[in-house]
Structures are given as C-alpha cells and as structure tokens.
Amino acid sequence: MTSEAPIIRGMGHSVKRKEDPRFLRGKGHYIDDFKLPGMLYMDIVRSPYAHARIVNIDASKALALPGVLAVITGKDLDAAGLAWMPTLMSDKQMVLPVDRVVYQSQEVAAVIATERYIAADAITLVEVEYEPLPPVMDPHKATDPDAPLVRPDRDAKTNHIWHWEAGDAARTDEVFQNAEVVVKQDLYIPRIHVCSIETCGCIASYDKIDGKLTVYMTTQAPHAIRTVFSLVSGIPEHKIRIISPDIGGGFGGKVPVYPGYVIATVASLQTGLPVKWIEDRSENLQADSFARDYHISAELAAKKDGTMQALRVKTLADHGAFDAAANPSKFPAGLFSIITGSYDLQAAHVEVDGVYTNKPSGGVAYRCSFRVTEAVHTIERLVDTLALALSLDPADVRMKNFIPPEAFPYKSPTGWEYDSGNYPAALQKAMAKIDYAGLRREQAEKRARGELMGIGISTFTEIVGAGPSHTFDILGIKMFDSCEIRVHPTGSAIVRIGVQTQGQGHETTFAQIVAEELGLPVENITVEHGDTDTAPYGLGTYASRSTPTAGAATAVAARKIRDKAKKIAGHLLEVSPDDLEWQDHKFQVKGAPGRSVTMKDIAFAAYTNFPQDVEAGLEAVDYYDPPNLTFPFGAYICVVDIDRGTGMVKIRRFVAVDDCGNIINPMIVDGQIHGGLTMGMAPALLEAITYDEYGNIQQSNLMDYLLPTAMETPVWETDKTVTPSPHHPLGAKGVGESATVGAPPAIANAVVDALSHLGVTHLDIPITPWKVYQILEAHGAAEA
Amino acid sequence: MQFTGTQQINAPAQKVWDFMLDPNMVASCAPGFQSMEILAPDHFKPTVAVGVGAVKAKFTLDVQLEDVRPPDHAGVRGRGNAVGSAVELHGAMDLTPVSDTETTMNWTADVIVNGVIASVGARLLEGTAQKLTARFFDCFRQKLEAPETPAASEAPATPSTPDASDTGNT
C-alpha cells in the first residue's frame, strides 16, 4: 500500500488568509450586523463632569417619548446588587453610579427603546442634576494630603492603589554607589487609546422560557467573561453563552467588561427581549479603558567604557478612577520588569505606584504585552542617553552590553528566564541592511550643511505568552489555553481553540499548525473560536499569547491524534506501529518508504476499519500550560529627516529585523509587523490623550486624536532572524506586539539623534511638529 | 477660562449701570439669547444657544446677581446645563466715570465649561468665547451710545438673530 503525499502548506507557508474573502467582500459578521427578532436598543446618558455628586435624575420626559420602554439608573441596579461589578484587577467598578460620577463621560443612566434613533433622542431628555466636585487630574498631586478622594467607597481613604516592585534594591543601590557614570532620565509615556475601528458593543438576549442568556459581545476573552457573568449574576454557567463574532480590532481594549455590556444584559433579563448596545466613536474614545500613562524616572549606572551595570526605576502609574486593567492578577504593573531589556546587567530595581485620578480606567494593554512598551521605551532611551553622555556610538553600546547568545537561558536581574536569543545577529543584520556606517557619514555631511537627520536604534526584548500556571492567572483562572481537534472520516477536520481572533488570522495559522502536524491539506481544516458553547475554555487573545499558548495546545492536540493514527496506520499496513515513522506528512514503514498511508487513509479507517484495541474516531483535546514565557526580540533602525521650517519629522527609512522564533505563516507575520510598526509610529509622533484642569478630555474625536493613515505611514522594510523557542512545541514565540513595542524608541532616538548637536538629550512622545519647532526656534535652528 | 477686559463707553456711568443691571437689556445683546424667565430682580433663567465649531448646544442658565454695590460694582454668578455639557461662570464689573459722557468698564469673567462643548470644541473654545464677548460689547456700545430711544428697557428682550448662535469655526 502506498499513498502520494498531499500538498499540505503547513508551517512556513504564506497561505492566504482564509478569513479575507469574507472581510474583503463586506461579508464579515460584526456585532452591529446582527439583528434579532424583537430587538430593543440601548443608549447611554453620560456625565459632562469628571467629578460630581448626582443630586437627582429625572427621567420623566424621556419616558414620555413614544418608543421608550425604560430608563435604567444606578439606583435600579443597586436594588438588584448590580450597581458595581468586579474588575479583573481585584478592584470594583461602577456599572451605573448611585450618587457620584468619577470621570467625564461615565455612564449615568441607560435608555431602552424600540428604535435606535428614539434611544438616542431620549438620552437628551434625561435630566441629571449634578453638584460639581473638584477633580483629581494630575497624578503627581493625587496623594497630596488635600487631594479630593476619588474613591470614598474604599476602606483605604487614599488615592494610592498599590505599590509594586521587582529586583534587588540593596544590590542595585550598591552598584550605583560605586558607578563611574550615572545617567538619569525622566520619561512620560502618555495616555493613548486603542481606538479599534469597530467600537465596543453587544446584544444581550435572554430567553425567559429556557432561562438561557446569550450575549453577542465584542470581547477578546469570551470564556472568562462567561465565568465572570455567571459569578456576578448567579445565572448557572451552562445557561450563559458568550459569542464573540468577527471583531474589528481588539488590541487589548476589548478584554475588560464595560458597563454597557452589563446594563444591556440587565435590560434583556427584565424585558425578555434582545437588547443591542453599540458605542459611537466619541463614547469609545472618551470612556473605554486607556493604555500607558506612566510617569517614569529612570537611572542607569555604567562604566566609562559604556558597560551597563545597573538600572533603577521609579514609576507613577495613572490608573484613572477604577483599577480595571487586564493584567494577570499577580502583576499590577504588568510585565514592566522586563525593563532590563536585551542587556546583561548586574542588578536592577523597579518600583511602580498606582494612583486613582478622575479619568476613565487606564492600564489596558494596548498591543504591548502588559506594560512592555513602557519598559522598552525606558531602557532603549536610557541606552542612547548613556551613549550620548559618553560620546559613544549607540550601536556600539548595545553590542557591548547584549546578553551573549551563549548565555541563554538567561536569568534576568528582575527574575525572568529568557528562553532564547541572538541579539548581535539581529542588530548586525539591521545595520547591514540599512548601511549604518554610510548613514553616519551622510549625517555628518548633512549636519555640516545645517540639515537635520537622525538615526535611531531600538534593540528590544519582548515577553509574551502568559502564562505558566504557577505564576499567571486572571481572577484565579490559570492562563493555560486550549484546542480541540476532530478529524472527519474523509480527511478534513474542525479545530476549535480557546483564543479569539480579532484580525490576527487564526483561522489560517491554526489550520496550518494542524496541517503540518497531521499531514492534511490546510484548505480541509476549519478553525472555529469565540463561541463558548462550542469552543474549549481559554483565556483569550491578547499580549501576543495565542501562538505561545493555544498554538502549542493545537500542536500537542494534533500530536495526540497522530499517536492514535499511528496505531491505525500499523493496522492498515499490517506492521507494528513501532516499525512506522512519520515522514513527509505520512506514516511509512521504516526502511520501506514505498509502504505508507496518509492521514486521509487513516481518518477513513478510524470510522470504518479500526483495530479492535483502538476506539473509533480521531479527535483530541489539549489544555496547554506553558512551562515558561517566550521572549521574541528585534533590532529596529529608523532614519528621520526634520524639516527646519515646520518641525515635521519624516521617517525616511525604517528597517525592522524581527525574531519571533519559528514562523507559521511569513505573510501574516509580515502583516503583523507592518501593522505593529504603524501602531508604534502613531504614539511616537501623533497620539496622546490629555485633559484640561476640569477633567475635559481634549481628544474626543478623530479630528483631535490623530490616528495614522496611509499618508503618514512610511514604507516599512522588514527582515528576520530565526531563534526558535526551546520550550514551545513548534519553536514559535508570538509576534503580534513586537513592532508596537519596539518602534517608538527607535523613532524617538532618531529624533533626539538629529537634534543632539543642539544639546537635546530627550524628547517625550508624541514628538509633534510644534514640539520640535519650539526647540529649533530656541536654538536658532528654525528656518524662517 | 479667565477673561478680563476694559471697555471705554461714550455714555454716562449711570446709563451703563442701568443697562447692565437690566436683564432684558443685557439679554438683548447676548449672542444666541432665546428666552428668559425672570424670577426676581436679581435672579433670572435665560436660555442661550451656543455653537463651538460643529457643536451646538442650548444652555438653560440659572443666573444670580451678587455683590451689587451701586453705582459702580456688580457681580454675577451662574450655572447652566445643555445636553452633555455644563457651564459655570462668575463675573464682575467695575465702572469708573471718566467724564459726564464717558465711562470706563473693567470686567472679569471666570468660565468653567464641562462636557461635549469643552472636549469636542476644546481648540475653538477660547476663540469662540472672545468672539462672543466682542459681539456682546459691540451691541452694548451701539445701544448705549445711540441717541435716546424711548422706553427701550420696558420692551422685553427678543431672541437675537439666528446667525448670532452660529459662531466659531472661522
């Protein structure tokens, strides 16, 4: 018996995305595309004040509007014990306020109506009487003795939330005391917004007959949401179904539970009808959880020859009015302790203090693997600060201080064990590709002519794939992830995964993993996710964890199937399974490659002709608990030219060499990096959310909040090195966030490099034309 | 937002005083004024339409005169709401006669705006406020410096022309 090996297109193939035909033809199904019979609509009354007491809510005029069925307030929810809900960070958060609002645009009441337009009209008729209170807007003043209390509901009468630290303070101080050189830099990583193209929304649909609640929801973590909903509402978990359909961008902003989801659910429970709630753009920008907002003070101890020795960091984290970040429970500051980066330091000590302010919840991980962006920006700016102070080339300083390739697995001074890396190779590749030496010569010539050109490097280390159950959980649920595979008799398969795609291409890449492991053509494999009634339990997609966790589960589940398939193959080939080997995507008899069976043959036999001692069918489930995190890395080099007349920074070239271990689909990885670089360029040059002293957000629409378009986006040049993860079943590491994390400091470093001869040593992001122009003018370098 | 200003008016101080203390007269020059309920000689509830850039809002204000010291000092305090927005203001004026027919008015205003008007219109807010102030004083001066017209102050204030609320975004 012999069989031709089929064309598989598994690992390493640029398979076109299976999801794209429906997206490109406008046939995706996003929340707002769903219309259920009898569906009602909800709209939300929001607070104009950042801090105020609610004196009275008069809904009579709204209720008088034909088509309005109900106006729900905090007092209504309070009666049902639902005015507050738990956050993912052991804090609690108002669903609707009973007596006070704590940030601008906070939900105050909800209108339920038969038509969307009626609901929108009715919210303008709800009269809310407020008594304004002084808001806390500056986190540096949040813990002043006379600061107003943001959260009087807490037992602790302070705006300080928590203190967190990592590393060895005494050892670090000792190195600093004996250091030849100490450089210090304060950095502010501004508040930014995820601003996914699809805003948040849901349809809650409670069936009063069978007592089942189905919620269609824009969520990155449907299973965890189901459990939380059950715990909070008391509805048995098997009577709750969360469906996360096509998601128009998540990036971390769709991990938290927003009040709108809960209010819509309450409205459906009361009416027995489906209730739809969709945010508009301004609501999304003003009220959903924010990212970053770290005020960092960092010091680096070094020798005069540029050898880095120790790092000391103090940070003030502005978490807004509720600590509703979506970090693993034991990590209130996320994985910020990756801050020693790619460098071999003797010691490090990192501290973060979280405070409340009268702003919406902060701390959401916006495509940054839990605070890694802030960490990478800090260390990569500091390396350049050191190089500048010592008049050394920043590339040389990096090469001198890299963790050497032979030192892996490497134990970092803040306690992480880096799995694998080859940092010099990545930087060398980037320098060769961009002609670093040539650029430095060009820069010297241009500077002599008065032209402003800068070169910036970022050699970052990421930390992704949360995470091992001994350390990582969210609300106690361990951060494993899962996969279930069923192979059908004719050799096709359905794969269900615990993670949830929001554009990453899971329907393609997870099919490729199964194709590779089982020897089935990728087009014969369907991937499903996002429906808690059918998919196995998992913690969802964020922090670049899908490939390291569910990707591993998929490989392991497929290997379980292959183990069983081997027994069936032995039966079909009439040899002992021990005499078989898996070669070229089929089982063949050792030493007799002419005798082989494909997985398609085996699948048919699994239902029609299986051996007596083997169960029928061909399926497997795996819940994968990763032994460690994975540590992707990269070397980015950015070249900027600065217009002396306008202060405009133009990215002339940007070379990104990424190493995410073994690659499942190079085209998708490239796409992830292109998107990530653009989302890294945005906060470096364009984006920031600010507030006036009264708590008014200054960027509540896309005219004021500048998202990059094709006009602002340069041509990205990507390349790669491949250093497999030694502990991941596929040797893969995860890539979704590498570029967002690595790009901002490369750009900031390039701008500082362009202006360093004027005495500029640092610029906080976003580096806007106005900021640069003021510097040029102050130094007489501006063009009239 | 803090504003201060000085107006030189070709009218006697008493005439300026009478104008400023008469809610109907003030309303007749207020850009976007729509209607008013007078609860007491020093307590009014005007409705005013304001536009900042693309955002239009109709504020219902509660205004109280305070610290009224004839013939030269008066203050005002007000608070108002529109859909999604709120405003608080505190103002004061001092009159100094320059001659029998000339008066100097020094004024201050402290305005806090919250909500949609402030966030969406942030970049235009100050400019709009200055423009509205200028429009008010143009009208104010025109009326005060014009030859006497009988019984002006008895006529109830009428809503200003529609274009008065169409402000900002220039």
Together in a domain, A696 and A614? no
Same domain, A258 and A317: no
Specify whether A615 is located in the same domain as A632: no
**Looking at the domain assignment, is residue A453 inside a domain?**
yes
A446 and A498 co-located in one domain: no
Domain count, chain A: 3
CATH number at residue A208: 3.90.1170.50
In a domain, A594, yes or no: yes
- In-domain check, residue A13: no
Is residue A174 included in any domain, yes or no? no
Nearest to A344 by CA among A407, A389, A289, A388: A407
Q: Which of A360, A364, A362 is nearest to A51 (CA)?
A: A360
Q: Is A107 helix (H, G, I), strand (E, B) or coil?
A: strand
pLDDT for the residue A362: 87
Whole-number pLDDT of residue B170: 33
Same structural domain, A704 and A759 = yes
Task: Let me know whether A488 and A569 are in one domain.
Answer: yes
Q: Can you point out the beta strands (E) in A279-400?
A: 291-302, 308-318, 347-355
Please identify among residues 102-121 of chain A the ones whose CB lies closer than 8 Å to any CB of chain B: 104
Contact between B115 and A286 using a beta-carbon 8 Å cutoff? no
Whole-number pLDDT of residue B166: 40
Residues A638, A651 contacting (CB under 8 angstroms): yes
Residue A377, domain member (yes or no): yes
Amino acid A735 reads V
Q: Which of A287, A311, A340 is the last residue of a domain?
A: A287
pLDDT on residue B152 = 47
Domains of chain B by range and CATH?
Answer: 31-91 (3.30.530.20)
- pLDDT at site B148: 66
Indicate whether B146 pLDDT > 90: no
Residue A475 lies in a domain: no
Sequence-distant (≥ 6) Cβ neighbours of residue A200 within 8 angstroms = A218, A253, A254, A258, A260, A261, A279, A284, A288
Low-confidence ranges of chain A (pLDDT < 50): none
What does A706-741 look like in DSSP terms, one character per residue? ----TTT---EEEEE-----SSSTTSB---TTHHHH
Verify that A313 and A439 share a domain, yes or no: yes
Give me the CATH number covering residue A671.
3.30.365.10
Residue A157 domain-assigned? no
Is B38 part of the contact surface with chain A (CB cutoff 8 Å)?
no
Helix (H) or strand (E) holding A392: none
**pLDDT computed for residue A2 by the predictor:** 64
Q: Are A318 and A355 contacting, i.e. CB atoms less than 8 angstroms apart?
A: yes
Q: What is the pLDDT of residues A678-733, one digit of tens each?
A: 999 999 999 999 999 999 999 999 999 999 999 999 999 999 999 999 999 999 99
pLDDT tens digit sequence for B104-145: 999 999 999 999 889 888 788 888 989 999 999 999 999 999
Q: Is B56 on the interface with A (CB under 8 A)?
A: no
Our CA angle for B96, B98, B103, nearest 5°, is: 60
Residue that is last in its domain, among A264, A287, A310: A287
The Cα A709–Cα A694 span in angstroms is 31
Looking at the fold, whether A372 and A442 belong to one and the same domain comes out as yes
One DSSP character per residue, chain B reads: -EEEEEEEESS-HHHHHHHHT-HHHHHHHSTTEEEEEEEETTEEEEEEEEEETTEEEEEEEEEEEEEEETTTEEEEEEEEEETTEEEEEEEEEEEEEEETTEEEEEEEEEEEEEEHHHHHSHHHHHHHHHHHHHHHHHHHHHHHHSPP-TTTTTSPP-PPPGGGG--S--
Do residues A714 and A595 both lie within one domain? no
Q: Are residues A615 and A636 in the same domain?
A: no
Number of helices and strands in chain A (H, E):
18, 32
Confidence of residue B162 (pLDDT cuts 50, 70, 90): very low
Q: Does B112 touch chain A (CB under 8 A)?
A: yes
Cβ contacts (< 8 Å) between A701 and chain B: which residues?
A: 120
pLDDT > 90: what percent of chain B?
A: 70
> Domain for residue A503, yes or no?
yes
Output the CA–CA distances (angstroms, integers) from residue A252 to A248, A325, A326, A369, in the order listed.
Answer: 12, 10, 8, 9
Extract the tokens encoding A203.
Answer: 């349809």
Residue with token string 């079943």: A729
Tokens of A444: 């010297």
From A198, A283, A374, A737, active-site residue = A737
* Distances in whole angstroms, Cα of residue A347 to Cα of each of A339, A374, A411, B113: 12, 19, 11, 50
- B-chain residues near A124 (CB < 8 A): 83-84
Instruction: Report the distance separating Cα A250 and Cα A248, nearest Å.
Output: 7
A368 a catalytic residue: yes
Give the separation between CA A550 and CA A729, rounded to whole angstroms. Answer: 11
Q: What is the pLDDT of residues A302-355, one digit of tens each?
A: 999 999 999 999 999 999 999 998 889 999 999 999 999 999 999 999 999 999
Distance between first and last Cα of chain A? 83
Give the phi and the psi of residue A663 in degrees, each rounded to 5. Answer: -105, 135
Rounded to a whole number of angstroms, the CA Rg of chain B reads 16
Q: Are residues A297 and A439 in the same domain?
A: yes
Range B65-79 average pLDDT = 96
Domain limits at A389?
A: 291-407+422-466+628-778
| Res A721: pLDDT | 98
From the list B83, B113, B119, the residue facing A124 with the nearest CB is: B83
For tokens 């009015």, what's the residue? Answer: A321
State pTM to two decimals.
Answer: 0.94
Domain boundary residue among A624, A642, A662?
A: A624
Whether residue A657 sits in one domain with residue A558: no
Nearest CA in chain A to B86: A48
Using DSSP, state whether A234 is helix, strand or coil. Answer: coil
